Amino acid sequence: MPRRVAETPTGNHPADPSAPCDAPHQTPRTDPTRPTGQVLTPYRRLLTTPGARAFTAGNLVARLPSGMFGVSAVIMIAGARGSYALAGAVTATGLAATALVGPWTARLIDRYGQSRIAVPAALTAALGSLALLLCVHFDTPDWTLFAAYAATATTPNTGGMSRARWAHLHRDDPAALHTANSFEQAADELCFMLGPVVAAFLCSALFPEAGTLVGAFLLVTGVLVFAAQRATEPPATPRTTRTRSPVRHPGFPALLAVFLATGAVFGAMEVTTIAFADAHGHRSASGVVLALQAAGSGAAGLLYGAVPPARNVQRRLLCCLAAMTVLMTGPLVAAWATGSLLVLAGSLLFAGAATAPTMVTGMTLVQRLTPAGQLNEGMTLAVTAILGGIAAGSATAGWVVEHTGAVSGYAVPTSAAALALLLCAATHRSRRG
């Protein structure tokens, strides 16, 4: 996701993410305790941007499967093969493949445009999902599950493409871009909130493969609608021989390490919660329980978007990660002390409150560190790091659950959150030094 001065997508922010931001002087200070109608005013204003509602609608449809595929695959594979370790390893393989392929797909999007690349990429990913469905249904050897799920690596980063459109439309308005980033994070949480619920319901009420089948259909449909909105699409930026990957710019590798650890929180929490619900005889309720974490994050994200942008973004990220580490101990304590799925659900609701502010702040840093014309690639690298973390967290949690039980699995996301905090703190101290 070495240069002397970075040109940022907004055109207004300094390249140094820890430098003071001028945005608070350009927009009135917002009181987070004001009435809900006033809190939502920036979002209403944002959606009046010409063409915004059309590409947002298509993007939401395309993004919903992102919350469905993982849960669908775990339920489908664990139900058919009787192993959460295998299910976690297969999903981890798919995410690891996405981590390798995703940046190249995003680079093609930056170079040739969203419409030309996103549609064939989505079709290829949908075929991979259907191949996994057939392998599970016809009881093919285990290695075929890994190969089929790896084919989903071409899934386009629809959230990143949407953020790139906002950055293009509001490149001269930092306050509007902050609201747009918060809106996109809330949309992510909405999809991750509804996705597991829809997936768990379809897999339980219809047949185990239903979640994957519906997810593939929604992905292709949403990308087709999104790509059709050409008026808001950022212009393509042809590559030159001197163009360098965002990873080679100062501060970007350290930020990717923080995203990697943060992704492990999400992957471990998902696998552990499904296993915990299954151990208590309520596998179909796992989607609802996971949705509560996303609900808490989505609500926090909307509130976060109504406050002014941070003056010191890196310091705020450090504070957000500290809050996440503290709140992630809640599910561990709830599972260990009570063993109640209901109490666990409540703890996940509170645990999600720090997720959206952390991701919004992290994506703001990504936008400031990424050169103009490479925003899709920069944000996809960030998402790739998250997916890599999800893969590692899923595999680790699956192994822990398999050998020590579901309760012990909640130690994995707590430890991952603490690791992200330590990495961010080390980077912050290094920059200050």
Query: What is the rounded (10 degree) CA torsion for 393, 398, 400, 404?
Result: 150
Q: Which of 114-128, 198-212, 268-282, 306-320 is the least confident region?
A: 306-320
3-state SS assignment for residue 247: helix
Angstrom distance (rounded) from CA 340 to CA 319: 30
Res. 304: pLDDT tops 60: yes
Per-residue pLDDT, 5: 32
In 223-285 the beta strands, taken as DSSP E runs, fall at none
Angstrom distance (rounded) from CA 176 to CA 180: 6
pLDDT (tens digit per residue) in 130-159: 888 888 888 888 888 888 888 888 888 888
Nearest to 117 by CA among 256, 226, 12: 226
Angstrom distance (rounded) from CA 310 to CA 305: 11
The band of 14, judged by pLDDT with boundaries at 50, 70 and 90, is very low
Res. 59: pLDDT tops 80: yes
Contact between 189 and 172 under an 8 Å Cβ cutoff? The reply is no
Distance of CA 252 to the CA centre of its chain: 18
Position with higher pLDDT, 282 vs 53: 53
Instruction: List all residues 6 or more positions away from 38 whose beta carbon is below 8 Å from its beta carbon.
Output: 306
Angstrom distance (rounded) from CA 30 to CA 305: 10
State how far the alpha carbon of 146 is from the alpha carbons of 137, 182, 226, 275, in Å.
15, 35, 30, 21
The band of 13, judged by pLDDT with boundaries at 50, 70 and 90, is very low
Number of neighbouring beta carbons within 10 Å of residue 323:
18
Per-residue pLDDT, 159: 80
Position with higher pLDDT, 372 vs 176: 176
Per-residue pLDDT, 275: 85
The band of 247, judged by pLDDT with boundaries at 50, 70 and 90, is low
Percentage of residues of the chain with pLDDT beyond 70: 82
Number of neighbouring beta carbons within 10 Å of residue 173:
18
Position with higher pLDDT, 344 vs 380: 344
The band of 248, judged by pLDDT with boundaries at 50, 70 and 90, is low
Query: What is the rounded (10 degree) CA torsion for 161, 166, 172, 178?
Result: -110
Which residue reads 């010191």 in tokens? 312
Res. 415: pLDDT tops 80: yes
Contact between 190 and 352 under an 8 Å Cβ cutoff? The reply is no
Position with higher pLDDT, 52 vs 14: 52
DSSP category for residue 26: T
Per-residue pLDDT, 432: 55
Alpha helices in 113-173 (DSSP H): 114-137, 142-150, 158-169
pLDDT (tens digit per residue) in 69-91: 877 888 888 777 777 778 878 88
State how far the alpha carbon of 56 is from the alpha carbons of 51, 62, 114, 209, in Å.
9, 10, 14, 28
Per-residue pLDDT, 34: 47
Angstrom distance (rounded) from CA 243 to CA 293: 40
Q: Which of 79-83, 244-248, 365-369, 403-407 is the least confident region?
A: 244-248
Widest Cα–Cα separation across the chain: 62
Angstrom distance (rounded) from CA 293 to CA 286: 11
Whether the model pTM is above 0.85: no
Which residue reads 């915990």 in tokens? 276
Percentage of residues of the chain with pLDDT beyond 90: 1
Angstrom distance (rounded) from CA 166 to CA 47: 10
